[in-house]
């Protein structure tokens, strides 16, 4: 069944959307849960089991394969809860204030089902109205309980005697197993790059294979930043007889959480390539896919399974949303950051919620706090950073590293440790002290070390605070909103947020908000400026190539937008003119910047010679 809503709620942190399906799935809204933090997942399983009247038996870290079992048990619980909620909704009466009425009122006006609902309301004949109500009940379905794995978070785990466990017990593979063995009929989102070991492991689970009709119980969504990567990853799976059901294009920088700069490739041109090559992609992959199934002696579906194209990152107005749906033909749009201001859908603790609602552009910034070494969108003066700074002032920088999902460094230890951990920062600072650096250089390197924060734990703290889940000591929640939050200031209900998406109301504050494509361009230019200032005066040949590729992609993107903006027919002439002027101003800024560093950019000719 095609989805009745044209938007979805993407994964947000480890805790903000960890139980979002319980809040919104019964209304047909799909959302995504992070599978990073199995300890948080176990805490939430206990909370929701007790709340729903189910018995709860703890799965402890001393149980065999505990990570996968925790994930399976939690997802199965959510599946049962949502199915029960939806059954009750479906059985409720078509009168004001009931759950089934809310379901239909939330739908977009363009939906044929919404139009049928309006017709039912206008009918006076009771028998005819009852017949329409029965039809409507059979047309609805709950939203998907989707999950997310950051593919590179694939920590090796160890037995009690210190020996490494087999590869199927690494964090990513255990999470995949937890999902693969659940009862869910939904999708798993693979994000943050290619992990061949993880992708290959998907072959072990029958639910990832299509049946004769093309139905796939557990679908795979690839979060991608360009067309070429989509083709490469899609072909990798196709060779194994596994179909990619959705390519989810996300802005590299204009999004929440970790950001992944795509060397200046912008969202509009990327979507344009998908638009023009979508059928070619499907055809090429299906040839490889069918042959792989033939070799494996597996069922070849009678039809090509569905391939969805979705987009997310920085969407803020109903006109932007409609443009993505109509011009690029995307099947759904992702609205993440604005939902942080919607307690009916996500979990943000009250102090952080107040800070988010008051946040301006200067309060939202790209930080270096992530132990992954990847830029991370952050809110100034959040509780996690305040606690981190307090420890620094006490001369005890670093975290106790209670969960260790982001361990990656073996600079001083045999086993990988986290760069945000107290142990790593102590060892690194001691190492710096031995180098006899000048004060300025020592301070520079010291500051780099102590910036890292314990985000794998702190991003899940808000949901525990909100639900009064017992835990020793104080909690210091982190948060990771995208830049788009600056233009939303009101704490809203689910109805209000959905009404904003579909254009029934406007939740934007009075601050001037650039078009999403213009904003993304500005963020990319700002990022390029920061990168080159780090590299001068002596960039490496590899860095020179990267900087020039970045510049080239930005200029090509600007040229593309110059042709695109006049086609935004849903916007007013005044809006299009303003967007074009901002585009031209950014182009001039970029050209002036390139001129300032012309010596660096000119080096590309020498590097390529």
- Go through the chain and tell me how many residues it has: 609
pLDDT confidence bin for 605, thresholds 50/70/90? low
Q: Which residue reads 């993880």 in tokens?
A: 198
3-state SS class at 189: strand
Whether the pLDDT of residue 608 is over 60: the answer is no
557-581 pLDDT per residue, tens: 999 999 999 888 788 999 999 999 9
Whether the pLDDT of residue 534 is over 90: the answer is no
pLDDT of residue 570: 82
Phi, psi at 250, each rounded to 5°:
-120, 135
User: H-helix or E-strand containing 27?
Assistant: none
| Among candidate residues 192, 170, 175, the one with its CA nearest the CA of residue 75 | 175
Average pLDDT over residues 64-89: 98
312-337 pLDDT per residue, tens: 999 999 999 999 999 999 999 999 99
pLDDT of residue 609: 42
pLDDT of residue 54: 97
C-beta contacts of 101-104 below 8 A and 24+ residues apart: 102/27, 102/495, 103/26, 103/27, 103/28, 103/140, 104/136, 104/140
362-404 pLDDT per residue, tens: 999 999 999 999 999 999 999 999 999 999 999 999 999 999 9
**How does 146-168 read in b/e, with b if 16+ C-beta sit within 10 Å?**
bbbbbbbbbbebeeeeeeeeeee
- Enumerate residues 6+ apart whose C-beta is below 8 A from 526: none
Whether the pLDDT of residue 607 is over 60: the answer is no
Are 252 and 225 within 8 A, CB to CB?
yes
**How does 487-509 read in b/e, with b if 16+ C-beta sit within 10 Å?**
bbbebbebbbbbbbbbeeeebee
pLDDT of residue 470: 67
Beta bridge partners of 291: none
Q: Determine the Cα angle at 9 with ends 359 and 486, to 5°.
A: 15
Q: Which of 349-358, 359-368, 598-607 has the weakest average pLDDT?
A: 598-607
Whether the pLDDT of residue 525 is over 70: the answer is yes
What's the CATH number for 514-608?
A: 1.10.132
pLDDT of residue 600: 84
Neighbour tally for 100: CB within 10 Å: 23
pLDDT of residue 603: 76
Beta bridge partners of 219: 187
Q: Which of 287-301, 464-478, 499-513 has the weakest average pLDDT?
A: 464-478
33-48 pLDDT per residue, tens: 999 999 999 999 999 9
pLDDT confidence bin for 599, thresholds 50/70/90? confident
Give the C-alpha separation, 408 to 458, whole Å: 18
Whether the pLDDT of residue 602 is over 90: the answer is no
| Among candidate residues 467, 244, 459, 342, the one with its CA nearest the CA of residue 29 | 342
What secondary structure does DSSP assign to 456-517, as a single string?
HHHTTHHHHHHTT---SS---------GGGGGB-----HHHHHHHHTTSS--B-SS----HH
Q: What is the residue extent of each domain of the chain? A: 1-150+163-172, 383-478, 514-608
444-477 pLDDT per residue, tens: 999 999 999 999 999 999 999 999 986 767 899 9
Average pLDDT over residues 171-185: 98
pLDDT of residue 537: 84
Between strands 218-224 and 186-191, the pairing is parallel
Q: How do the residues of the chain divide into helix, strand and coil, expressed in percent and rounded to 5?
A: 50, 10, 40
The mean pLDDT value of the chain amounts to 95
3-state SS class at 333: strand
pLDDT confidence bin for 1, thresholds 50/70/90? very low
Are 208 and 242 within 8 A, CB to CB?
yes
pLDDT confidence bin for 604, thresholds 50/70/90? low
pLDDT of residue 85: 98
| Among candidate residues 30, 101, 13, the one with its CA nearest the CA of residue 332 | 30
Whether the pLDDT of residue 606 is over 70: the answer is no
Residue 414 DSSP symbol: S
Average pLDDT over residues 114-121: 97
Strands (DSSP E) found in 185-230 = 186-191, 218-224
């Amino acid at each position: 069944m095609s989805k009745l809503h044209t938007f979805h709620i993407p994964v947000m942190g480890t805790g903000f959307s960890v139980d979002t399906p319980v809040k919104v799935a019964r209304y047909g809204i799909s959302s995504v849960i992070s599978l990073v933090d199995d300890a948080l997942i176990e805490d939430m399983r206990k909370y929701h089991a007790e709340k729903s009247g189910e018995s709860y038996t703890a799965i402890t870290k001393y149980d065999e394969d505990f990570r996968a079992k925790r994930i399976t048990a939690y997802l199965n619980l959510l599946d049962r809860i949502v199915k029960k909620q939806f059954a009750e909704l479906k059985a409720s009466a078509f009168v004001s204030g009931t759950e089934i009425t809310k379901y239909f009122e939330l739908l977009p006006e363009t939906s044929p089902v919404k139009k049928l609902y309006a017709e039912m309301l206008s009918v006076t004949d009771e028998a005819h109205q009852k017949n329409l109500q029965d039809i409507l009940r059979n047309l609805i379905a709950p939203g998907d309980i989707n999950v997310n794995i950051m593919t590179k978070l694939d920590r090796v785990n160890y037995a009690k005697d210190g020996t490494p466990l087999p590869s199927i017990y690494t964090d990513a593979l255990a999470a995949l197993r937890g999902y693969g063995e659940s009862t869910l009929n939904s999708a798993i989102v693979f994000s943050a790059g290619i992990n061949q070991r993880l992708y290959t492991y998907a072959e072990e689970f029958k639910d990832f294979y299509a049946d004769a009709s093309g139905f796939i119980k557990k679908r795979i969504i690839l979060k991608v930043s360009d067309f070429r990567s989509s083709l490469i990853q899609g072909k990798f799976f196709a060779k194994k007889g596994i179909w990619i059901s959705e390519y989810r294009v996300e802005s590299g920088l204009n999004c929440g959480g970790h950001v992944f700069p795509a060397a200046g490739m912008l969202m509009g041109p990327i979507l344009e390539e998908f638009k023009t090559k979508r059928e070619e992609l499907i055809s090429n992959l299906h040839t490889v896919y069918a042959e792989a199934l033939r070799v494996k002696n597996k069922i070849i579906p009678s039809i090509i399974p569905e391939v969805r194209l979705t987009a997310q990152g920085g969407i803020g107005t109903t006109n932007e949303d409609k443009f993505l749906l109509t011009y690029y033909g995307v099947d759904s749009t992702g609205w993440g950051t604005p939902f942080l201001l919607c307690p009916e859908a996500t979990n943000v603790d009250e102090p952080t919620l107040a800070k988010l609602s008051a946040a301006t552009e200067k309060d939202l910034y790209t930080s270096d706090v992530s132990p992954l070494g990847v830029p991370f969108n952050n809110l100034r003066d959040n509780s996690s950073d305040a606690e981190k700074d307090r420890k620094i002032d006490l001369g005890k920088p670093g975290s106790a590293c209670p969960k260790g999902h982001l361990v990656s460094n073996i600079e001083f230890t045999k086993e990988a440790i986290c760069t945000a951990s107290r142990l790593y920062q102590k060892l690194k600072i001691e190492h710096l002290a031995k180098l006899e650096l000048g004060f300025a250089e020592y301070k520079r390197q010291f500051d780099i070390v102590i910036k890292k924060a314990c985000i794998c734990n702190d991003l899940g703290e808000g949901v525990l605070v909100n639900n009064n889940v017992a835990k020793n000591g104080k909690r210091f929640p982190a948060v990771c909103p995208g830049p788009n939050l600056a233009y939303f200031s009101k704490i809203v209900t689910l109805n209000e947020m959905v009404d904003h998406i579909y254009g029934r109301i406007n939740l934007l504050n009075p601050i001037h908000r650039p078009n999403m494509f213009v904003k993304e361009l500005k963020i990319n230019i700002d990022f390029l400026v920061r990168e080159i200032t780090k590299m001068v005066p002596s960039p490496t040949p590899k860095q020179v190539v990267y900087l020039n590729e970045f510049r080239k992609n930005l200029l090509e993107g600007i040229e593309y937008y110059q042709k695109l903006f006049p086609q935004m027919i849903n916007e007013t002439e005044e809006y299009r003119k303003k967007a074009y002027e901002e585009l031209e101003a950014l182009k001039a800024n970029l050209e002036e910047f390139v001129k300032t560093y012309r010596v660096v950019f000119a080096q590309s000719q020498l590097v390529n010679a």
